[in-house]
Structure 1
Amino acid sequence: VTRLLKPLAARTINGDDNLAFPSGHTAFLTAFALALALLAAGRFGLGPTSGTVLAVAVASAAGALMGWAQVATGAHYPTDTVGGCCTALAVVPAAAWVIDRVADARRAHAR
């Protein structure tokens, strides 16, 4: 998704060939942490509220750490990392919703 967004924003850092917005590293780590937290919430039977709080907290912490590292090394502007985090927080739940619907439809069809 970030590969689609980067040319649209066309913001660069450290040279014209280095597209910066959104941060792909931050998006990846946020998405990975969010997916793991959602899986853990389901595995441990957490309710919707507890599971959501866990998932958002874990994803936010991972995104903040990666974002800080990217800004500290001069690889990105702060808004690049916020954009990467927000991209992951939008895409992962949408993908999880689609996967759940497909799995539910397959289960219903198998019966």
Structure 2
Amino acid sequence: MPLYQAVSVVGSVLLLAAYAGLQTGKLNPSTSYIYQLFNLIGAACLTYSVIEPFNTGVFITEFCWSIFSIVGVVKLMRMRNANRAAEESNAPEEAVRTAG
């Protein structure tokens, strides 16, 4: 099997796994890095696989899918960092309440 076909199979499996996880409630796009990374890696694999022979429609779709997935990963990272910062800023308050 040529490399581009193997890469496309991996991409398809990852995208379908993310979709199945979403539909079955096993993965939540708002909280799951796995969901976002499966979409990102799957779309990137399919983007690579359509370069030769070039398929404009699929390339545009998968390239945009990759970009949207990067946005999702960055959003999750920011949300988790904000939650962590909020927890750390509340920690001294909690210690005072329990000590008093």
- State the TM-score, normalized to the length of structure 2: 0.42
**Which has the higher relative contact order, 1 or 2, with Cα contacts under 8 A spaced 6 or more apart?**
1
Q: Report the structure, 1 or 2, having the larger helix content.
A: 2
Question: For the pair shown, which has the larger CA radius of gyration, 1 or 2?
Answer: 2
* TM superposition score normalised by structure 1: 0.38
